[in-house]
Structure 1
């Protein structure tokens, strides 16, 4: 990946043509890929990861799945098997406003994974939630189709694909 989030902020933060937002620094990196970017697909759910699994089993086409899990710290929404499915189906990464599990295994999977923390308990399996809706957390609102950029310094969201 040829960009850095710091460079994007320097280049576009004051550009009136670009809507650039910086996600509050509360996410930790767990996946084997530390830098990733792509168009956003959103999920909004709570303590139920059925839609996460269904989505990561679809072709990702280099996109990033952004999951608004309500910030729950009571269970995990992603583990090693779903992360491997995302990698195998061409997703660049996953950003979860919630927790993950299998962190040692996630570190060896070539998929970007950002989340609030780890939790050993798996989620419920009811299939509740929404896809391709506006989600808000960590000081930003994200829309499906926007672009997200992630590296070791943070997470930046833009209304379009940017050049680094």
Structure 2
């Protein structure tokens, strides 16, 4: 997938025939914020579900990720971060386009300098414990959408769009 900038609003306008899903702001005031240097990013989804344990996040981002975006369901936990600068640097080294975390990250100033798209709910300095817990390649549900590995995700400062196929020019 190309890293050509796009605007999610335009993707929705340009593809009315597609069944695109839009991640909605959460009722409790939580919303995704952009933290990485890459402000518009997308790619084929790889999913992981983990709660306050970033073992699987670290493992996946240490693998080849060209054209991919890791989508992490952290259960919206605000108690610890599921990614920091070292794991984000590993993602860049392994060519991931981005990471979307339904939870927290840390080391935001360092992550802001990396050529990586990063959306998360919040930042917190507390790291997670690693116990090897988590499931990969399963369907995730948050923000009013269902996301599975193999879908395509497009994110920018306007929001996050999910498609079941790659959209042209993205």
Q: TM-score, normalised by structure 2?
A: 0.92
Tell me, what secondary structure is at the counterpart of 1:90? coil
Q: Which of 64, 67, 73 is 2:69 aligned to? A: 64
Tell me, which stretches of 5 or more residues in structure 2 are unaligned?
A: 26-30
Is this contact kept in 2: 1:56–1:86, CA < 8 A? yes
Is this contact kept in 1: 2:106–2:123, CA < 8 A? yes
> Map of 1:22-61 to 2, 5 A cutoff?
22-25=22-25, 26-61=31-66
In structure 1, the partner of 2:13 is 10
Is this contact kept in 1: 2:54–2:130, CA < 8 A? yes
Q: Which of 141, 146, 155 is 1:150 aligned to? A: 155
Instruction: Give structure 1 regions of 4+ aligned residues with deviation exceeding 4 angstroms.
Output: none
In structure 2, the partner of 1:78 is 83
Counterpart CA distance in 1 for 2:147 and 2:140 is 5
How many corresponding residue pairs?
Answer: 161
Deviations 1:24-56 (A, max 9, x none): 131001111111010000001100001000000
Counterpart CA distance in 1 for 2:84 and 2:101 is 12
Q: TM-score, normalised by structure 1?
A: 0.95
Counterpart CA distance in 1 for 2:133 and 2:65 is 21
Is this contact kept in 2: 1:47–1:75, CA < 8 A? yes
1:2 is displaced (CA, Å) by 4.4
Tell me, which stretches of 5 or more residues in structure 1 are unaligned?
A: none
